A and B are shown apart, each in its own frame.
Chain A
Amino acid sequence: MDNAEELRKAKIQRMEDAAAVKVPDRIPIGIATSYFPAKYAGVSYEEMWYDNNKYIEVGAKFCRDFNWDAVSFHRSFESVPIGLALASFDADLAILVAVNSVLGGGASHDILADVYSSNPGREVGKNIESQWVIKKPVMNDDEWDFLIEKPFDFMTETILPRAYKNLADKSSPTAIGSLIKFGMEVGKFPGFLMEMAGKLKEEAWLPYYYAVAPNPLDFIGAFYRDFDVLSLDLYRHPEKVKKACEGLAPVLAAVGKMTGKISLDVTGSRRVFCPIWYNTYLSPEKFKEFHFPYIKQIVNELVEAGFTPLMSFQGRSDHLLEIYKELPAGKVIMWFDKTDVVKAREVLGDKYCIAGGVPCSLLISGTPEKVKSHTEKLINNMKSGGTFIVSTEFNGMGDAKVENVKAMTETVMNYGKY
């Protein structure tokens, strides 16, 4: 692209203005999707997940053809626990491993044989989405005290050998060999990052996010206990759950700040992805007791350090909107899945940037006319009284029809101008 740098700067400005509740030149469009761009480029989900060259090609093609203001082609998180376990040994290595986990694709899944992901072309078909389902808890019911007292030792001694089948016996050739292979893979990562950074500039490709700050309750649910078992823990061991969250919150805030710094250097974006899954499971009382205090702590630390938390409230949050008003106004983006954004605006008022509004179901099942009319109506409803980013549910538009995605994009570009 000839004017890539100008275009990229304009996108950064548009997204920053929206986040800060300053009216931008146009309503931006920001989405996370891995599968739609793969399908659009004629590449299998398996290749998108495992072939870093294809991943960059697909991303670049998608950015050229759709020119969204921000887009992330999310992959997976399988090696995050290894990154965290290394924190007390070498912080830089730890963060390299953590970032590699988010951007490095499926290689670590194959090398370490984790129990978390079912990946395309491996446990599921080559054009089926990767899914994160733990078949049985990695952490046992009687291990809360160890987690609370020594979170890093717990990670290294208890979680790693169970989470990664190839590390089950730490002194075995399989484990040692797997760690060497994993190290070789991580060693390739800075090169990939450089190549990616070049491509981002060349194609005016601005990631929706590139950094991540998990929160404690979701982290425990995703990596240690599984969400249904953690639901029972909230009744059976409430105090232990809270203690464990207290211990993890500063560690995870540090992950957000360190990945945020890398992201700012590479992409120019201050956004840090804060995925929030468990909100949809919890009553307002339980959300306030077990989830929100630690989310707020992390968000406040990120904001203080100059980052913009991109809060991905997945599932449905309608019952929690009043509580979200405690988050710093004009400093966060509230990105909703199923929550009605018009209702969210009514409750949250004009001091927050809201993202969302186009359901993937419409992009999959609807027609271009329906998509256009929905997007126009959405823009009319959301254009005033705060700022807005057109988005869809997190990584949900794999099966969308190309003509519908084009209709959404064109409507935002033409109709979203201020």
Chain B
Amino acid sequence: MDEISEAIKELEEQKVLKLVKERLDAGEDPIKILEACRFGMAEIGKDAGDTIFLTDLIMAGEIFNEAMALLMPKLVGSSTTNLGKVVIGTVEGDIHNIGKDIAINFLKAEGFEVVDLGVDVPAQKFVDAVKEHNPPVVGMSGLLTLSIEPMKKSIDAIAAAGLRDKVKVIIGGERTDEEVCKHVGADAWVNDAIEGVKIIKAWVGGA
């Protein structure tokens, strides 16, 4: 495994940043470095829920974003992996962001373009985003049980706008389950962000 991938997998923040800087300074192709970062993130994802837990995923996301901040200026104009768009947001009434943000970091690491609608997102904003971005997948997040009915409302609104058959909808959060998934009319549910990324990847044929 590439040294950068390995250091990301081991969550060695300073080592990752040092290696990225050194290799950029040495003139290495930034796309190759980016791929090494992505590979490290994918390796972490493989162990999520087994030996890797939320604090590890938050740290991994932080390291990835720091590495990306170094890489981005050098990547301008380059063509990198693009698995398509995912529109994602925490549904109306719920202002929690951590689960959503972990999903976003790992989706980006997989090569998705993420449209982050933020927290407390009204149903209409999901509809507008689907119209504007035409994503194959919409992710709806919510930590609290109060997010269940707004998830239903948002999915119903997407259906009422005639867009339901154009997108797959995945719901995620601590209190979602099969019962909730059926109730709100989503295509999949997860309690864990990394599992969600795997499902999305399988849907768009990237798995």
Contacts and interface: CB of A to CB of B under 8 A. Distances in A.
Q: Are A and B co-members of a single complex?
A: yes
Contacts of A124: 93, 95, 120
B175 A361 contact: yes
A319 B180 contact: no
B141 interface: no
Interface string B82-110: 00000000000111111001000000000
* Residue among B120, B145, B148 with max Cβ neighbours from chain A (10 Å): B145
Contact of A361 (B93, B94, B179): B179
A396 B144 contact: yes
Contacts of A227: 98
Contacts of B98: 227-228
A129 B146 contact: yes
A330 interface: no
25 contacts: A124-B120, A129-B146, A131-B144, A228-B58, A228-B98, A228-B101, A231-B58, A281-B58, A282-B54, A283-B56, A286-B53, A286-B55, A319-B53, A337-B174, A338-B191, A362-B179, A365-B148, A365-B179, A365-B182, A365-B183, A393-B175, A396-B145, A396-B175, A397-B145, A398-B146
A183 interface: no
Contacts of B120: 124
Contacts of B11: 235
B19 to A, nearest CB: 17
B70 interface: no
B144 A129 contact: yes
A315 interface: yes
A359 B191 contact: no
A361 B54 contact: no
B12 to A, nearest CB: 9
A393 B145 contact: yes
Nearest to A226: B98
A282 B93 CA distance: 27
B56 to A, nearest CB: 7
Interface in A266-294: 280-283, 286
Contacts of A231: 54-55, 58-59
Interface residues of A, number: 37
A232 B145 contact: no
Contacts of B145: 360-361, 364, 393, 396-399
B204 interface: no
Q: Please tell me the size bucket of the interface on B.
A: 20 to 34
Contacts of A316: 174, 191
Interface of B: 11, 13, 51-56, 58-59, 62, 93-98, 101, 120, 144-146, 148-149, 174-177, 179-180, 182-183, 191
Q: What DSSP secondary structure best describes chain A's contact surface?
A: mixed
A197 interface: no
B111 to A, nearest CB: 24
A364 B55 contact: no
Contacts of A315: 174
A190 interface: no
Given A227-B98, A282-B54, 16 more contacts: A118-B95, A124-B93, A133-B97, A228-B101, A231-B54, A231-B59, A235-B11, A235-B59, A281-B54, A337-B174, A359-B179, A361-B177, A364-B145, A365-B183, A393-B145, A399-B148
A133 to B, nearest CB: 5
B175 A281 contact: no
A125 interface: yes
Nearest to B62: A232
A128 interface: yes
Contact of A283 (B52, B179, B182): B52
Nearest to A280: B54
A359 B177 contact: yes
A232 B58 contact: yes
Contacts of B51: 283
* Residue among B54, B94, B180, B182 with max Cβ neighbours from chain A (10 Å): B54
A283 B60 CA distance: 14
A276 to B, nearest CB: 14
A189 B54 CA distance: 39
A281 B53 contact: yes
